[in-house]
Amino acid sequence: MLFFSHALLHANLVCSGKTPQEADQLLNEPPWERLDKIFNEAGIHLRCEAPLLRAASVFTEDRDHVLRFKDSRTGQLVSPNSLSSGEKALCALLFLEYSTQLGASRYGLILLDEPDAHLHPDFVKRFFRVLVSIAANGCRIVLTTHSPTTVAIAPEGSLYLLTEPGIGAPQKVSRAAALAGLLSGVPALSVIAENNRQVFVESQYDASLYASLYAILRSYRPKDVDLGIRSDVSLSFVASGSGGSGSCDQVVTVVEALKNNPFVTGLIDWDRKDRKLERVEIVGRGERYSIENFVFDPIVLAAFLLHLQYVPEIAGVKASRTFTDANPETLSEIADEISELLLDALNKMQTPAASASREEKEKFAACVRECAKVLQLGNQAYLDSGARVEVGYCSGLSVSIPQWLLLVRGHDLEELVINAFPMLRSFHKRSNGLKTSIVEIILAQYPELIPLGIARALAALQHGAGVTGDAMPTNVR
């Protein structure tokens, strides 16, 4: 009737001598055009068909106008009866929004009993946009739901938990608490938007490594150390570059481009560069050059070699499982022996075999050159590992190890490892194979050997801006 009345008034004005443009100016915006705008804002691909009058009279045979829609994508006519239950529910709400905008309906309160029961999750977002528009016209809205999607989208502070009848009044709850009640028995399902962080890293290889390390630490609970890793906050690692390529600059660029999303952050290597970046965490800042310097930590590397029985013993230790009970002095001796073996490989790389290819010789020369910078010994035999530094592990232990192993470029350290222990080449032939194997074989079995810098970085990402909850524990900073 609303459509017909507007069309009839417009036709009468034209019959009385007004031009169609003048009639448009005298009347309000046609209801079908306003509804079209509302549909468009809600993301609904429907447009209203305007009534066609053959006479400007209430007695016209067109007075019983039947509402029809047209699909804006295909141009086909759509009957309201052919709409899905979710589309019907959304359309009903859109008509209500239209009437409140016109002032035709001044509802003080609207009660909705599980209106989202038939809505696709994507429709729930549109549904809430319409509710917000209706509420902006002074109407209060109360709805009940059992849908985790609806709870996840609802504004924080608007949620109340209904208990059993007679037990008490509805209790105001946080989004996390409401979802916990709805998802009881489904612990793997996490739909809290602010408790999901997307972390951009340099390459797909880094993404895979960090995802594995995060999964290990998320379930690891040492007795005497609070690592600050939260089980209720999910981190998803995404490569900023295609394939194995990527760079710190790409991560920074992507995070900057997505700065309006508070749940996007980045994670990059230190690379011995002093940088202050917003929403980008630097793993190993001031301590380790890159992720390789964590994975090829001398204690971790020794455990890997002993576990696979590639060496009979290291510093008197014959089994990787004894690492978890070893004291800092023993672990320091293990680090020294690994350092000596790597230095020996470095010395040999200065004079590569005659059979080495030109590419290998160039690679060796570059590796030696970079290591010489760190060791500050010039072009000579590397017999002394130089300065030492205390580093922490997730077990709570601090161990003194040769600092050069932490400061040398990660790729050069990997090259040294392969040359010092040729039996590891079979792992290295696969993309990221050696690092992945160390994480999956050793660190997954002995998470207490994970260097503390990894836990610090992951905890910082979880406790960063945009994540709800307590501040990061001071003992992991």
Residue 49: pLDDT band with limits 50, 70, 90: confident
- Whether 218 is covered by a domain: the verdict is yes
Same domain, 373 and 260: no
| Statement to judge: residues 258 and 304 lie in one domain | no
Most trustworthy range by pLDDT among 271-275, 311-315, 442-446 = 442-446
CB 141 within 8 A of CB 126: no
Most confident of the following: 9-23, 60-74, 170-184, 304-318: 304-318
Assess if residue 24 is contained within a domain: yes
User: Which pLDDT does position 182 carry in this prediction?
Assistant: 67
Arithmetic mean of pLDDT, 137-165: 80
* Window from 267-281, 332-346, 398-412, 421-435 with minimum mean pLDDT: 421-435
Task: Report pLDDT for 168.
Answer: 66
| 302 vs 381, residue with greater confidence | 302
**351 and 306 both lie in a single domain:** yes
> What pLDDT is recorded for position 385?
55
Lowest-confidence pick of 124-128, 179-183, 331-335, 359-363: 179-183
What six digits make up the tokens of 281?
A: 């965490």
Could you tell me if 369 and 319 lie in one domain?
yes
pLDDT of residue 136: 77
Residues 338 and 402 in one domain: yes
Instruction: Indicate if the pLDDT at residue 341 is higher than 70.
Output: yes
Instruction: State yes or no: pLDDT of 126 exceeds 90.
Output: no
Residue 458 in any domain: the answer is no
Q: How far apart are CA 475 and CA 411, in angstroms?
A: 30
Domain that holds residue 49: 1-82
- Residue 467: per-residue pLDDT: 37
Q: What is the mean pLDDT of residues 69-92?
A: 77
Q: Which of 43-47, 49-53, 182-186, 353-357 has the lowest mean pLDDT?
A: 182-186
Report if residue 103 sits inside a domain: no
Q: Which of 282, 314, 334 is the last residue of a domain?
A: 282
185 within some domain: no
SS3 for the chain is CHHHHHHHHHHHHHHCCCCHHHHHHHCCCCHHHHHHHHHHHHCCCEEECCCCCCCCCCCCCCCCCCCCEEECCCCCEECHHHCCHHHHHHHHHHHHHHHHHHCCCCCCEEEEECCCCCCCHHHHHHHHHHHHHHHCCCCEEEEECCCHHHHHHCCCCCCEECCCCCCCCCEECCHHHHHHHHCCCCCCCCCCHHHEEEEEECCHHHHHHHHHHHHHHHCCCCCCCCCCCCCCCEEEEEECCCCCCCCHHHHHHHHHHCCCCCCEEEEEECCCCCCCCCCEEEECCCCCCCHHHHHCCHHHHHHHHHHCCCCCCECCECCHHHHHHCCHHHHHHHHHHHHHHHHHHHHHHCCCCCCCCHHHHHHHHHHHHHHHHHHCCCCCCCCCCCCEEEEEECCCCEEEEECHHHHCCHHHHHHHHHHHCHHHHHHHCCCCHHHHHHHHHHHCCCHHHCEHHHHHHHHHHHCCCCCCCCCCCHHHC
- 129-133, 311-315, 359-363: which is most confident: 311-315
Domain boundary among 254, 282, 310: 282
In the chain, the percentage of residues whose pLDDT exceeds 70 is 77
Q: CA 262, 267, 273 angle in degrees (round to 5)?
A: 120
- Is the same domain home to 250 and 355? no
pLDDT at 76 over 80: yes
Q: Are residues 372 and 438 in the same domain?
A: yes
pTM: 0.58
- pLDDT class of 194 with cuts at 50, 70, 90: low
Band the pLDDT of 286: cuts 50, 70, 90: very high
CA distance 449 to 324: 8
Same domain, 201 and 330: no
Residue type, 43: G
pLDDT at 447: 94
Place of tokens 């905008």: 101
Contact yes or no for 364/428 (Cβ under 8 A):
no
Of 18-32, 211-225, 365-379, 407-421, the one with minimum mean pLDDT is: 365-379
- Percent of the chain, pLDDT > 90? 25
By mean pLDDT, which of 105-109, 312-316, 437-441 is the weakest? Answer: 105-109
CA–CA distance, 120 with 133 (Å, rounded to integer): 20
Using alpha carbons, list the distances in angstroms from residue 386 to 136, 271, 316, 334, 366: 69, 20, 23, 16, 20
Residue 302: inside a domain: yes
Whether residue 182 is contained in a domain is answered as no
Same domain, 341 and 278: no
Q: How many domains does the chain have?
A: 3
At residue 316, the pLDDT reads 82
| pLDDT, averaged across the chain | 79
Both 326 and 368 in one domain: the answer is yes
Output 65 or 240, whichever has higher pLDDT.
Answer: 240
Check whether residue 259 and residue 302 sit in a common domain: no
Look at residue 112 and tell me if it is in a domain: no
Query: Angle at Cα 370 formed by Cα 355 and Cα 361, nearest 5°?
Result: 10
Considering only 103-107, 154-158, 355-359, which range has the smallest mean pLDDT? 103-107
Whether the pLDDT of residue 351 is over 80: the answer is: no
Domain end point (choices 82, 106, 141) = 82
* Residues 369 and 223 reside in one and the same domain: no
User: How far is 202 from 270, CA to CA, in rounded Å?
Assistant: 12
